[in-house]
Structure 1
Amino acid sequence: MLPVTAKIRRKMLLALLIAAGLFLTLRLTAWYHLHQGEKALAQESRQQLSQLISLLDGLLSRFETIPHVLSTNPTLASALLDQQNDQKRRELNLYLEELQHVTEASDIYLVDALGVAVAASNWKQSFSFIGQDYSFRPYFIEAISGRLGSYYAVGTSSDKRGFYFSYPIYDRGTILGAIVVKVDIADIEQQATGIAEAGQYEYLITDPDDIVFLSSRAEWRLSSLTPLTQSKRFALNASKRYANRAINELLIRPPYSRAGKEQTPQRYQIPTDGKRLYYMDTEQEMAKAGWRVHVLSPMKPLHDELPMLLLLAASCYGLLVVGLLLHNERKRSLARMQQARDQLEQRVRERTRDLEAANTKLKDTQDELIQAAKLTVIGSLSASINHELNQPLAAIRSYAQNTQTFLARDMRERAGDNIRIIVELTDRLAEIVGQFKSFTRKSQGTDTATDIGECIRQALTIVQPEIDKQGVELKLALPDQKLEVWGDKVRLQQVLVNLMSNAIVAMAQCPHKRLQLSAIVDEKLRIRIQDNGPGVRESQMQKIFEPYYTTNERQGLGLGLSISQRIIESMQGSIQVSNADTGGAVFDIILPLYRHEGSHAS
């Protein structure tokens, strides 16, 4: 036999620890599942017990006051005083029969001071109560003593289970007998069974002798929860509570014992359909009726869930053990992986630096392209700009010469007027030059809240000389309220100038040129630039925003619309192109409105 090495001993010890851990895991899982399940089941059982008792109290209370009300009828006292009068007894029998139908009681009958029934609602039946002696019944003894009586028993004549209410009949302070109302508890049992089936539990109701007289299961009825000793059988026979019914013991394990003041639920094994099933017994006293109500919640569903839960716990434990075993193996490979990761991260950092440098270069190139596109627009408008500047300059020269003449003639007031006009013309020149200087300056790419009306007007300042030169009719429609978008103001001006310049070029061959500029507000802001030129051919629709694509080879590099689209997309917007029904191209700039409630774009 080979000696047991240290490695084998370690493996055996590890296997032993794993087995012990599995055993402990299964024990704890079973305990926790049963503990929590029984706790929840007990809480639910207490609610069901409260509902069941409320139902029973409500059903019995319907009949509790009937004897007292009937006792006030003088006909009952008259019949007891004159029992030999057959006419009175017949009328009383008919009266009680009618009351029995109205109240839906099982039976109503009148007994004299000796406990003998003299009239009954079942006077026509073969088991009529008339002539029967009920002096041994506790409900008669309580009534003849001047109290409201109540009692459960099996009828000695009808052999039906019932609950009895009784009340004394007085005549001038003397008790002549008692009126008794019997309630058929089979109807009560049926209603309570329906509630129990809906709640998926069983119930039983016992008398003070622990005899089951109401139950959701027929096999449990008229069974004793406690052993039937000789003295107990003798007492039951003497009270005739159950008439001639046989009382058997319910084989309940462990032996039944009443719950204490804490009302802690008990667990019993009770024969059910030939099987011995476990139930949680939650019980409560109905002091008024003298009953003890038991709600028996089956524990089989709780136990049926346990194997699957144990299998799940064992699986989780197995996964945990496998994970721990793999963890040791993983630790050994982590060092190698870490070394490879460090090398990879170093390469990634180097590649990232290269990409960042390329992105910076690309951004600079893009800014240069945008600046070149702006200068291209300015170049195409240079003739109109010169015209716009030459007019004020010529006027300034003329007014300056006139001013010299006025000063030579000592016409100082006229000279002052000319100087004021020269100052105004100079301010106009400064405004025009300042606008062009702002437009041609490189944008810093700073996004701010931009007033769209002001932006459109500043863009028009740049394009206006070309509009005047080409004789274009300008139609401007802007909303009265202030509208703002979030973006770079200078770049948005560039887009507007570019689109308006393109529209003016497109209308070069039109006898009457018309440019419409409008701003429409719905969910977003829509800036529409529409001309009455030839429009955009269908074949050009998909390519018009591509870089270096142009329909005018003599002017531009084909970057204007591509750059404009990128600028608008950087502002979370879009540009759409279409042809108007009346002719001409329509460019729509769609931008989200900026609101001041805390977000930059709606």
Structure 2
Amino acid sequence: MTFLTKSRQRKALLSLFLCLGLAVSLSISYWYLLTQGTAHIAATSTKQLNELVLFWRHALDRYETIPKVLSNNPLLADALKDNKNKAKIDKLNHYLQEIQQATHASDIYLIDAQGITLAASNWQLSDKFINQDYSFRPYFIDALKGEQGRYYAVGTASDKRGYYFSYPVSSANEVLGVIVVKMDIDALENQSLGIANASGFEFMISDPDDVVFLASINSWRYAALTPLTQNKRHKLNASKRYATRSITELSIKPAYVEDFYSFGSSEQVSNAMAMQTQPQVFTINLVTSPKRYLKISETMPAAKWRVHILAPMSPLYNTLPTALLLAGTLYLLFVLAIIYSFERRRYYSQMSNAKEQLEQRVKLRTAELEHSNHKLKHTQEELIQAAKLTVIGSLSASINHELNQPLAALRSYAQNTQAFMQRNMIDKANENIHIMIQLTDRLADIIGQFKSFTRKSQGQDNAVEIATTITQALVIVKPEIEKCHITLRTHLPSGRCQIWGDGLRLQQVLVNLMTNAIAAMEHTQVKTLAIKVRCDNKIIITIQDSGPGVMESQLDKIFEPYFTTSERQGLGLGLSISERIIGSMQGSITVENASQGGAIFSIILPAHLIEKA
């Protein structure tokens, strides 16, 4: 009875120890995973924030100097001095329209000293800015003081969002008016949205009043991050910054700290930026349900914007249960490994048997892989052979023509010889027979060359003479060259120029590239095929045609298996096979477009023997 009690106590203590260890293990794992995951998200968000801020700075910098440059044009000062002169105003309207179209700005307009628009690039539209009063706009007030103005707002006339750059137009140290360039931010917001979607984060940009005016989520746009007090609503309405837009409050927890002071002195800006770049987790109520984000911000002092990156925390939270389950499983496995470590000796013989069985399976699997490799090699050989026959098939019409010519001549000479024999003109008959022998020799050479090309390679490497191989390949394609009236230009080495490889397969590659070049020139008027060989430390064979060349988008894909174009038939295996053949010879094959038109295919092979003539 005492033994059973002690046994139960030991089991109870062991179970308690295991549960406490499991709890500690899960707690440490949870803390570590959450800390490391948050740190990783923060690091990624910082990089994304820097990229987004840089994007917007570059976008704003494109238009910042345009008003200052335009202010130096005497057309503006003349129009402001003589604002009743319709001809000058019309000329200025057309000038501003041309500048707007050239710079892709949203609008460009000139305001007189009273704040009334005198000329605008949209003078021909129904919602033109001419005669509109913009004296209340901060960018006008700043420029009238002789300073450059920058301001974000929704247009009161166009009802479109934009960022405004302004600069004073002066004459004799007197400010006559203000030139304004409006930048459309809708397209830039869409580009930022594309960046955010691709990187898996959300963003918002707020003004000094903490009102969001650019965002990746529609419900965030025109929402205040801080409470809308009566004074703030009055200020927003008075500035007309958002025209008729309704400003709401964004439901965010914990409460967002108002940091308008960050647009003050340079020291305040630096402190605010340092504070805002510290990551913080917020819960924001969306249309469907609340969602938690890790927010990190950066101030753009010149634009008086604050850019916020909000990385969803849900991916991290979703991985925590699985990670904790894995941590608990590993803990239990570790404990079980300790408990049953002594039991493994009992199964030593079983493990030994299992090892022997595993070795047998490995041997069997190795034999199966060797068999599969043998079948794959055989299939590759068949594929290469099929590619040869495909080339011959594409040249069949020209080959038929090349064979029919000497056959027709043979028939004619045979008939003449028969007539000469009947007339007892032995000498004439002998001459005809001699010519017929030459014709049969020519037929034998042609058929022999095609027979040599179509036979299967033995896979044996030896010294291959480049000039001879090219000449043999030209015999194959020469009928097609003559049929298509193509001018052939060759520059072959006069001395010995050899590589080490399979000559028959190199000949197949050359025939394939030549037939591709011939096909590429099908619809061109000037048809020239140039083949050159340069012998140095490496041997470079170039095949250049005068066709339309290869599209830039296809240059990187042209050697991929099954890649072809809609203009040509076939499976798209010829160039892929050619690349593999050249690669097996320790070489490479490249393609580029010639400056004068046409494609250039280059075969680069290591030299085996080079002797100059």
TM-score range, shorter chain: 0.5 to 0.7
Alignment of 1:261-340 (within 5 A): 261-262=274-275, 263-327=277-341, 330=343
Deviations 1:318-373 (A, max 9, x none): 1112123224x549x89x99xxxxxxxxxxxxxxxxxxxxxxxxxxxxxxxxxxxx
SS at match of 1:5: helix
Contact kept in structure 1, 2:211 and 2:222, CA below 8 Å? yes
Q: CA deviation at 1:290?
A: 0.7
Give the aligned residue type for 1:161.
R
Residues of 1 paired with 2:75 and 2:120: CA distance? 14
Range with bigger deviation, 60-69 or 23-32: 23-32
Which letter does structure 2 place at the counterpart of 1:283?
A: S
Aligned counterpart, 1:188: 188
Give the CA deviation at 1:271. Answer: 2.9
CA distance in 2, matches of 1:222, 1:124: 31
RMSD (Å), alpha carbons: 2.5
Q: Partners in 2 of 1:105 and 1:4 — Cα distance?
A: 90
Pairing 1:85–2:85 present? yes
Residue of structure 2 equivalent to 1:145: 145
1:221 corresponds to which residue?
221
Distance 1:250 1:3, change over 3 A: farther
| Aligned-partner residue type, residue 79 of structure 1 | A
| Counterpart code for 1:261 | A
AA at the equivalent of 1:326:
Y
Alpha-carbon distance in 2 for matches of 1:56, 1:224:
21
Provide the C-alpha distance between the structure 2 equivalents of 1:213 and 1:40, rounded to a whole number of angstroms: 28
Q: Matched residue of 2:157: which SS?
A: coil
- Distance in 2, matches of 1:4 and 1:242, equals 82
Alignment of 1:93-104 (within 5 A): 93-104=93-104
Across the two proteins, how many residue pairs are aligned to each other?
337
Q: Give the whole-Å Cα distance in 2 for the aligned partners of 1:223 and 1:3.
A: 73
Tell me the alpha carbon deviations over residues 528-563 of structure 1, each in whole angstroms, 9 at most, x when there is no partner. xxxxxxxxxxxxxxxxxxxxxxxxxxxxxxxxxxxx
1:368-392 per-residue CA deviation (whole Å, 9 max, x = no partner) reads: xxxxxxxxxxxxxxxxxxxxxxxxx
- Which residue in 2 is equivalent to 1:33? 33
Task: Give the whole-Å Cα distance in 1 for the aligned partners of 2:288 and 2:210.
Answer: 23
Which residues of structure 1 form unaligned runs of 5+? 338-602
- What's the TM-score, normalizing by structure 1? 0.53
Question: Counterpart of 2:10?
Answer: 10
CA gap 1:79/1:326 in 2 versus in 1, 3 angstroms: same
Instruction: Specify the SS of the correspondent of 1:183.
Output: strand
1:4 Cα shift? 8.8
1:69-468 → structure 2 map (5 Å cutoff):
69-257=69-257, 261-262=274-275, 263-327=277-341, 330=343
* CA-to-aligned-CA distance 1:157-199 (integer Å, 9 cap, x gap): 1111100000000111110010000001111111111221222
Q: Distance in 2 between matches of 1:206 and 1:30?
A: 35
Q: CA deviation at 1:261?
A: 2.3
Which stretch has the larger CA shift, 315-324 or 63-72?
315-324
CA distance in 1, matches of 2:232, 2:21: 54
Q: Deviations over 1:575-601 (max 9, x none)?
A: xxxxxxxxxxxxxxxxxxxxxxxxxxx
**3-state DSSP of counterpart to 2:162:** strand
CA distance in 2, matches of 1:4, 1:174: 106
Q: Secondary structure, in 3 states, of the residue corresponding to 2:252?
A: coil
Q: Is the 8 A contact 2:273 2:298 kept in 1?
A: no
**Secondary structure at 1:208 match in 2:** coil
CA contact (8 A) 2:113 2:144 kept: yes
**AA paired with 1:43?**
A
The answer on whether the counterparts of 2:273 and 2:299 sit within 8 Å (CA) in structure 1 is no
> Aligned with 1:261: secondary structure?
helix
SS in 1 for 2:84: coil
How far apart are the structure 2 equivalents of 1:81 and 1:187? 37
Distance 1:170 1:264 in 2: 45
Corresponding residue of 1:564: none
Q: Return the index of the structure with the highest Cα Rg.
A: 1
* CA distance in 2 between partners of 1:160 and 1:285 (Å): 24
* 1: CA distance, partners of 2:285 / 2:94: 47
Q: Secondary structure at the match of 1:318?
A: helix
Distance 2:215 2:90 in 1: 38
Amino acid at match of 2:215: S
- In the TM superposition, structure 1's runs of 4+ consecutive aligned residues that sit over 3 Å from their partners are none
Letter in 1 for 2:322: M
